[in-house]
Amino acid sequence: MNMSEKVSISIIMGSDSDLPTMKAAAELLEKFSIGYDLTIVSAHRTPERLVEFAKSASTHYKVIIAGAGGAAHLPGMVASLTTLPVIGVPIKTSTLSGVDSLYSIVQMPKGIAVATVAIGNAFNAGLLAIQILALENAELNKKLQEFKINQTNEVKLKAKKLEKEGFKKYLEK
Ligand code: RP5
């Protein structure tokens, strides 16, 4: 498995069909200048690759983000083979809208933990991974604080505009 040096986060997913969802995590990590590896590991189609990845992950990474859909066993199986924090992203499915993925990832048995974000919300998986890294990185923590302040200011600006223009004009654009 191709693992780069000087990266903190691993982003894995069960299929390339998960990539349009999972890219949001990668994009956020890039915004925060955090190195990551991104690849496909399928719990069912490449079980041996999963074991190889999970067993060696702690020598390369600090946090794992794992996205999977349907019978989404990837995050839980990886978590069972490593002590690294694993953040699970339930991928939205066409058959059951991702509720299948959510239940598969969130309903872990006691003793094996996966931090599960909302269906399709790989952005929050990236954010949570950054927050974990920021525990021991003051510079990163400062960037996170700025991110939150900017987000708050954006909402305030929108509220001001909406109050001034009224909903009809606001919705015109
Ligand atoms: C899961 O099966 C993957 O995570 C993906 O969400 C789903 C469907 O995979 P493909 O059939 O699109 O490859 O393992």
- State the Cα–Cα distance between residues 26 and 111, nearest whole angstrom: 29
User: What digits encode the pLDDT tens for the residues 77-108?
Assistant: 999 999 999 999 999 999 999 999 999 999 99
Q: Residue type for 19, please?
A: L
Q: How confident is the model at residue 44 (pLDDT cuts 50, 70, 90)?
A: very high
Side-chain half-sphere exposure of 6, counting CA atoms within 13 A: 2
Q: How far is ligand 1, taken at its centre, from the CA of residue 53, in Å?
A: 18
User: How does the average pLDDT of the chain come out, rounded?
Assistant: 96
Amino acid 3: pLDDT: 61
- Protein residue with least CA distance to atom 9, ligand 1: 15
Do residues 63 and 133 lie in contact, with contact meaning Cβ atoms separated by under 8 Å?
Answer: yes
Which tens digit of pLDDT belongs to each residue from 22-34?
Answer: 999 999 999 999 9
Q: Which is the closest atom of ligand 1 to the Cα of 13?
A: 4
What is the Å distance from ligand 1's center to 37 Cα?
20
Residue 64's beta-bridge partner residues? 10, 86
**In Å, how far are 9, 18, 47, 63, 94 from 60, measured between CA atoms?**
8, 23, 20, 10, 34
Ligand 1 pocket check for 17: Cβ under 6 Å: yes
Residue found under tokens 């939205």: 92
Amino acid at 112: I
- Ligand 1 geometric centre to CA of 145 (Å): 35
Question: Exposed, middle or buried, 19 (CB in 10 Å: 0-12/13-18/19+)?
Answer: middle
Mean pLDDT of 27-50: 98
Residue 6 pLDDT class (50, 70, 90 cuts): low
With a cut of 70, say whether residue 5 has pLDDT above it: no
